[in-house]
Chains A and B, each alone.
Chain A
């Protein structure tokens, strides 16, 4: 369909690209500043004159950060990785199974159970941080990985999304499995789960981002340096001392690197996944 486009249409299209281009530059500037500052000397960052590029790129800043005894960056990264990976895996397991049970097993009170799950969606997790803190401190879990990981495992939103997804899973496939003699357990693990990778990876990505970037809960629970996540390490650096700016920027770059790599590698899946979680159906 090659329809000749009129002049106003072409002008509109050009304008659209100018707007998109300007927007793209604005959105990339913060990333550029992060990398630029991370590669500068402290004195260059605070120099009175603006420079677009580091005068002498300081690749040694990375080593300096990792050997600085004042900032437990390696330990914090390890904590963040353990927390994010464990939480993601367990949220998928717990919410995936619960979502399937709620969607498919005809239990008399299933509706009531679903209602108690959905009701917690109206109570934002971070508003309940005071009582959760009291609970976790009663259990003696302050500054432990348990305290950082376990309370975040029971995500009503993930369970609800899984339920919605399983409701739409083609029933015929499951019925065929039943005829072959598989029970609920077998049908779920051998038929339904292996055929849901797209959706599972979407929820995995969203959970992983949320877990890696979480701030309030790790701030409340991670009181000893040994239990800091990388976000807390950067924040403490930022709010309590303002020297070593160059190290601070390298730390921040290190903190977002895993997610940026993930975004670049998995970008198509992530976008599809966010679209398919169906919160806007």
Chain B
């Protein structure tokens, strides 16, 4: 503190040194801070903060097809979006999707991590196999799911297997009742992301101190008891992070819905999560930036709320 004050006083008395002089050595911390952080901070300002502010601004205007908003409409866009049955149904779609995907991914990745962690032979092999789909994009996975596994015709893999069992072919993606398309959408994402979360859980498992297991063994804990009373509680921090990531990622679902359900320029009205809906509102025929922006702001608020709530719940739930 005293040193900083002295340096400040020195600068006030002496004439301002040249830039080259200030850059030499590290007497000028402020300048050096901005040399390191400035380029990133400037980009963040221009490409993240400015668009967000702009979006907020546009959400209060009628603005179609243009970057210059015309009529101020106050909160009307927000009212329209909140009472728009299609937007509300997109939120329901997200909710249904999250209810399927978050618990299944969580359980499957934790289960795989426990299995792989305890495997003595071929551990690296199994880990690689489960992690490999992370290299695959949603587009490519959607192609395999739509055209090869869950193809609605008889030659698809799923229908071939059903055929062996004497069951009629199922039109997986093209019918709403029964809603088989959910199975297709959930399994794609499960396959793509389980390996990544498994790796996070494996890292968590490796950090658990062996002395805890030794103590449990001395106390006579066995098999499942050890998992339940030692392993799972020790993974609390990892679990919290995984849950948050799963929720945020589910909220951003776009790629697989778009690629699995769109056919030849048509997109069915069912099964649209919020991002797909906003994509069609803002960048479809109407180019309706006003309503699109209002929808984006609503979504951001919901995500923020969920994140804060989850942080609260998980922290309140487990003070060790």
Contacts and interface: CB of A to CB of B under 8 A. Distances in A.
Interface of A: 12, 16-17, 19-20, 23-24, 27-31, 33-34, 37, 45-50, 94-95, 97-98, 100-102, 105-108, 110, 113, 116-117, 120, 122-124, 126-135, 137-138, 150-151, 153-154, 156, 159, 183-185, 188, 209, 212-213, 215-216, 219-220, 231, 234-235, 238-242, 245, 248-249, 252, 255-256, 259-260, 262-264, 267-268, 270-271, 274-276, 279-281
Residue among A47, A123, A240, A242 with most chain B CB within 10 A: A123
Contacts of B293: 130-131
A98 B41 contact: yes
Interface stretch (B9-17, B46-54, B70-78, B86-94): B46-54
Interface stretch (B96-104, B110-118, B175-183, B312-320): B110-118
Contacts of B131: 263, 267, 270-271
Residue among A12, A138, A267 with most chain B CB within 10 A: A267
A115 B153 CA distance: 53
A185 B35 contact: yes
24 contacts: A20-B122, A23-B112, A23-B129, A30-B136, A34-B148, A37-B147, A101-B37, A105-B33, A107-B33, A113-B41, A117-B44, A124-B252, A131-B293, A133-B282, A134-B58, A134-B289, A151-B47, A216-B275, A219-B258, A231-B139, A238-B259, A248-B147, A256-B135, A280-B200
Contacts of A245: 147
A100 B263 contact: no
Given A94-B40, A150-B47, 6 more contacts: A24-B125, A98-B36, A113-B37, A123-B52, A256-B140, A275-B199
A240 B264 contact: yes
B160 to A, nearest CB: 4
Contacts of A133: 282-283
B296 A94 contact: no
A24 B55 contact: no
Contact of B223 (A12, A134, A271): A12
B174 interface: no
A105 B29 contact: yes
State the 3 A-B residue pairs at the shortest beta-carbon distance, nearest first: A101-B36, A131-B55, A131-B51
Given A100-B36, A133-B283, A209 B135 contact: yes
Interface of B: 23-26, 29-30, 32-37, 39-41, 43-44, 47-52, 54-55, 58, 67, 112, 115-116, 118-119, 121-122, 124-149, 153-155, 157, 160, 191, 195-196, 199-200, 202-204, 206, 223, 237-238, 241-242, 245, 248, 251-252, 254-255, 258-259, 262-265, 275, 278-279, 282-283, 289, 292-293, 296, 299-300, 303-304, 307
A134 B255 CA distance: 21
Contacts of A263: 128, 131-132, 134-135
A159 B48 CA distance: 14
A123 B196 contact: no
Residue among A34, A50, A215, A280 with most chain B CB within 10 A: A280
Given A238-B139, A263-B135, A130 B29 contact: no
B252 A275 contact: no
B129 A28 contact: yes
B37 A216 contact: no
Given A47-B155, A97-B37, A128-B55, A135 B191 contact: no
B156 to A, nearest CB: 9
Nearest to A240: B264
A110 B33 contact: yes
A248 B151 CA distance: 15
Given A33-B149, A215-B254, A120 B283 contact: no
Contacts of B275: 126-127, 129, 216
Given A37-B148, A113-B41, A127-B299, A260 B132 contact: yes
Contact of B245 (A23, A183, A279): A279
A279 B51 contact: no
Contacts of A216: 254-255, 275, 279
Nearest to A223: B283
A8 to B, nearest CB: 8
